[in-house]
Amino acid sequence: MLRKAAVLVGMSVSVVHAQDRSQSRSMVASQAGIVASESVLASQVGARILEHGGNAIDAAVATNAMMGLIAPMNDGVGGDLFAIVYEAKTGRLYGLNASGWAPAKLTPEYLAGKGITAMPQKGIHSVTVPGAVDGWDKLLRKFGRKSMADVLAPAIDYAEKGFPVGEVVSVFWKDSEKTLKEDAATTKTYLPNGRAPASGEVFRNPELAWTYRQLAKSGRDAFYKGEIAQKILASSRSHDGTMAAADLADFQGEWVVPISTSYRGWMVHELPPNGQGIAALEMLNIMETFPLGAAGQNSVQALHLMIEAKKLAYADMQRYDADPRFTKIPTAGLKSKEFARDRARLIDAAHANCSVPAGTPMGTDNGTTYLSVVDKDGNMVSLIQSNYASVGFGSGLAVGGAGFAFQNRGGGFTLNGASPNILAGRKRPFHTIIPAFMEKGDVRIAFGIMGGFNQAQAHAQFVSNVVDFGMNIQGALDSPRFSKETFEGCDVNFESRIPEAVRQPLTSMGHKLVMRGDFSATRMGAGQAVMRDFSTKVNFGASDPRKDGAAVSELRIR
């Protein structure tokens, strides 16, 4: 039965219907490695690393470095990173949390002294220590075959010689112009002609090439203790920031154990808090109490139940999620089947709930890039990396002379003293970015979908598309999505491909639909996925049409 399930996942679009399907493109299938990212150039770079003897981890870091150049509003070395690694030789999963902490002096009291009463979402006080470079270092040291210099070489070359800006990226760049013009160093880096580069226009970033060269020569220490650190600290001081040398030098990411739940025979894995992966698992557990497959994909009943499950899971996430080093989080209770059954009983099958309180589990304790890689040996990486706000390039501030923007992940904190997520020095904020992984029998899938608070609910929809509705990974990414950005109320974003015949009954049930485009990257995020069938040793890749990307196979089997 497991082997049959694996075949169905890989081949769910039959030959009979090959000319009459709703899927945007076919999966990439290869016996060699595959890289799926939101840039064709970045995926090609990762594939070349595989061709030259690198493994999935080497390719993931090389691809991520390219994305920091190609989509600088979304990610880069000024941001944070999370990853799940599947090691084929041991069959083990490893989790990496490379999210940075707040500067020691950035406290609620400090902000209050400046008259700031709400957590800043832009500017220097929204900046925490960037964790991405430490994440690259930990990934390469533990699993890689290549050096930091090897994997950064392609991005250095593109940064110096330039690349044509992509269609989707150019829109985010244009939308950020006003913010980028407010700071001289940021303008110099990202508006070289006094404006955002247009789609197809060649952009160069020699300052980022310099930064990557320092990393290639001296590794992570260049960023946290060396010449790059000096530029970071100088930029912070110029904006009256609190970042100190020790905040950078003392920082270390950490290896963590992924958290998991079963969903109709599949195991789904996320990372533990301070990210929102726990909400994806709770949402799936609630969904599992209902026969969604019988209801039909994107049917009135299925969508209503999934939207209501989202509200319940997110209410609990908002109440409990934070840095586990500072507060006891009831992770086991939140992902338990018993708690999900209790929460599911609150769903009214005929009416939308516009005010959902958090539950009490046992043991009560948008600017992003996602990529996934599988190599010929079956090693897999699910990696997500982010500046947080895409419009405005994270904090809106570039590091002078270094070619990258500071993230604004500190905006994930609150100044509400009753919240476990209240700002504190050396504390990590709540994070929206989450990588994911799922498995059954001989099949492994590394996947993720970007987009702020969209992510956990989009993960649950992807899993449901594969498990409940028999879609392959490309179809599961393509499928129309909903996304409820808010915690309160009955508003919910719908892609316009969901038909009126479904939308009208949902409106009658109390859902307040906000219609978006056919493929809404801004509201629904965009994802990537790779899959391996270990019984046949065949790999598959998929890339979301909501972005500029592609899944690319290496050209030969080594």
Q: Give the model confidence (pLDDT) of 153-190 as tens digits.
A: 999 999 999 999 999 999 999 999 999 999 999 999 99
The owner of tokens 């003293």 is 417
Per-residue model confidence (pLDDT) at position 392 = 79
Mean pLDDT of the chain, nearest integer: 93
Beta bridge pairs of residue 448: 528
Catalytic residues: 368
Per-residue model confidence (pLDDT) at position 123 = 96
Rounded to two decimals, the pTM is 0.94
Q: Give the Å distances, CA to CA, from 115 to 119, 424, 429.
A: 11, 17, 21
The angle formed by the CA atoms of residues 375, 378 and 383, to the nearest 5 degrees, is: 65
Q: Give the model confidence (pLDDT) of 357-376 as tens digits.
A: 777 665 433 568 999 999 99
| Number of folded domains that form the chain | 1
- Per-residue pLDDT tens, the chain, 558 aa: give them: 334 444 444 444 334 455 567 788 999 999 999 999 999 999 999 999 999 999 999 999 999 999 999 999 999 999 999 999 999 999 999 999 999 999 999 999 999 999 999 999 999 999 999 999 999 999 999 999 999 999 999 999 999 999 999 999 999 999 999 999 999 999 999 999 999 999 999 999 999 999 999 999 999 999 999 999 999 999 999 999 999 999 999 999 999 999 999 999 999 999 999 999 999 999 999 999 999 999 999 999 999 999 999 999 999 999 999 999 999 999 999 999 999 999 999 999 999 999 987 776 654 335 689 999 999 999 999 999 999 887 779 999 999 999 999 999 999 999 999 999 999 999 999 999 999 999 999 999 999 999 889 999 999 999 999 999 999 999 999 999 999 988 889 999 999 999 999 999 999 999 999 999 999 987 898 999 999 999 999 999 999 999 989 999 998 755
Query: 56 CB contacts (<8 Å, ≥6 apart)?
Result: 33, 50, 85, 373, 374, 375, 379, 380, 381
- Residue 217: CB atoms within 10 A of its CB come to 12
Q: Is residue 145 included in any domain, yes or no? A: yes
Beta strands in 182-284 (DSSP E): 202-203, 254-256, 259-263, 266-270
Q: Is residue 144 included in any domain, yes or no? A: yes
Per-residue model confidence (pLDDT) at position 16 = 41
Per-residue model confidence (pLDDT) at position 557 = 56
pLDDT above 70 covers what percent of the chain?
94
Look up residue 345 and give its two tokens. 């009983």
Q: How far apart are CA 49 and CA 62, in angstroms?
A: 8
Look up residue 215 and give its two tokens. 């990393």
Q: Is residue 203 included in any domain, yes or no? A: yes
Cβ atoms of 203 and 69 within 8 Å: the answer is no
Per-residue model confidence (pLDDT) at position 333 = 94
Q: How far apart are CA 266 and CA 260, in angstroms?
A: 10
Look up residue 128 and give its two tokens. 């925490």
Cβ atoms of 374 and 532 within 8 Å: the answer is yes
Domain hosting 189: range is 35-78+91-250+392-412
Cβ atoms of 437 and 263 within 8 Å: the answer is no
Q: Is residue 510 included in any domain, yes or no? A: no
Q: Helix axis angle, 206-218 relative to 227-238, nearest 10°? A: 130
> CA 262: distance to chain centroid?
22
Q: Is residue 277 included in any domain, yes or no? A: no
